[in-house]
Every structure is written in structure tokens, then in C-alpha cells.
Amino acid sequence: MRAFAPGSVTAVFAPGETADQSKGASVAIADGVVADVREGDADESVVTVGGDPTDFDPVELALETLGVSARSDLTAEVPIGRGFGASGAATLATAIAANAEFGLDYSREQLVEVAHRAEVEAGTGLGDVFVQNRGGLVVGDGGEPRKFERETPIEYASFGPIATDEALADDDLMATVAREGSATLDALPDDPTLADLTREAWDFAEAIGLPTDEVREAVADVEAAGGVASMAMVGETVFAVGAEGVLPNRTEVCPEGARLR
């Protein structure tokens, strides 16, 4: 059984009320992850990416929680570990596909929670799956987020990974993220455009000190072409709106969430 989950670009985030929650502003994108799940050959689940076996902790944890031994073959349309929520997309798509493949009868809400808990335990994310479950532009937290339909094209370029688990474990960084992220989210308009969000997100990225020289150069190129750009959280990745042909990759907002294929 195959399922797809969109990638997600988090523009702004801050810790939530508990350690396993976050709040933020993110957009689901049409480029994502496909999981092809079927019964495994042994008592231990196997995960592959592009045909190569790999350790993929959140996917394995989700399958364990669902109580199945399975093979999940992942096809990633976005780079893994570079701010596209690939681990969340892989985990959510796997959970949805496994539920159908094995006739588990979990509700959609339960599957999202399984994927979220697996991400938290693995240290790979705090809220991507909530965005990937809904699609669109999502602002808020996992409990009561606001979803906005948007059709603005998005360009992006990725230069390298930033370890999410290390960033989330950096107490000084997270204290700054909590302060600056909350202030940025509070400053967003009630009905934000992607340009509004991206503009505010760049101020946030600079305030927390994550942009590298390559990121700054790409953002400057987009701004010189009349667009706005910022940095994906968390990865050495730039996303942009309002410019065409400046960055090498072009996608669009995914209006709906994860689903069987």
C-alpha cells in the first residue's frame, strides 16, 4: 500500500506549552515523500530510502507503535534533513499506508498522533506532521491551528543539513527561539500572505543567528530580483516567493494533506 505526505517548510517556530509541542507557521509543499508499505519478511521492520536500507528511527518507532513488522520503501522528493519535514512526511505516510495495508482501523487523528510521538521520541521534529496532515499554510499549534488556502509558487535551494536533534537540544538557542518566535508569530497579520510570512521569517532567522553565508547570499539574490526569501527551520535551505528562476527548484503549496495513493 502506498501513501504520500507533503513536505513542509517551517518559516517560524517556538516551543509549545509542553516539551512535545511547538507552535509555528509552516506551509505544506507539493514535493514530499511516498511510502510503499507491505508485510516484512522477518520480525523486524525494514526501511529503505531510494532502495537502500537505512536506519530511520521515527518510521521504525511508528511501525512498532502500530504493532506491525513491515517493509517501508520511501521515495523522497525533497532532501532529507534540510528543513523540508522529510522525516515527518516519511513517518506519517508510512503510518497511513500501514494502517491500510494491515487493516488496523486506526482513525486519522490516531495515526497523526502516532507519527507525532515517533518524531518527538526520535528528536526529528515537533510539529511537522500536523501541517502535513492538513496541507496549505498552517499557523498555530497542533491543537487548534489556522489553515489558509494559498496558491503562491515557491522556489527553494538547499545547501546542506542542520541536525534537528542538536538544535532542539541547544538550550541557549531554544531560549532565543522561544522569545523571537513567539514575538514573530504574534506580529503576523490575521490573514497572512506567503510574502508576509516570508518577510517576517527572515527577521526571525537573523534574530536567532542560524543563517550561513550561502543562505544570506541566496536571500540577497532573491531580494535583488524583487522577491522575498527566508531560511527553512531547521536546515541550510532557502525558500522564496515573488521571484522566478532565481533558485533552482520550484514547487507549489499542497492544498490537501497526506493521503493514500
* Cis amide linkage into residue 234, ω under 30° from 0: yes
Q: How large is the angle between the packed helices 108-122 and 57-66, nearest 10 degrees?
A: 140
pLDDT value for 170: 81
Q: Provide the β-strand partners of residue 251.
A: 154
- pTM higher than 0.85, yes or no? yes
- 223: domain CATH number is 3.30.230.10
Q: What is the pLDDT of residues 113-123, one digit of tens each?
A: 999 999 999 98
State the residue for C-alpha cell 506532521: 129
Regions in the chain scoring below 70 on pLDDT: 19-20, 142-143, 164-165
The three cell numbers of residue 72 are 517501508
Host domain of residue 83: 1-261
Strand boundaries in the chain, DSSP class E: 2-15, 22-39, 46-49, 52-53, 70-76, 137-141, 146-148, 154-160, 228-231, 236-241, 249-251, 259-260
Among 236, 208, 147, smallest CA distance to 12 is for 208
For residue 17, with 0-12 CB atoms within 10 Å meaning exposed, 13-18 middle and 19 or more buried, which class applies? exposed
Domain count, the chain: 1
DSSP classification of residue 253: B
pLDDT value for 228: 98
Q: What is the pLDDT of residues 83-109, one digit of tens each?
A: 999 999 999 999 999 999 999 999 999
DSSP 133-194: HH-SEEEEESSS-EEE-----EEEEEEE---HHHHHT-HHHHHHHHHHHHHHHHHS-SS--H
pLDDT value for 32: 97
Q: Provide the β-strand partners of residue 6.
A: 32
pLDDT value for 44: 87
Residues 6+ away with beta carbon under 8 Å from 256: 135
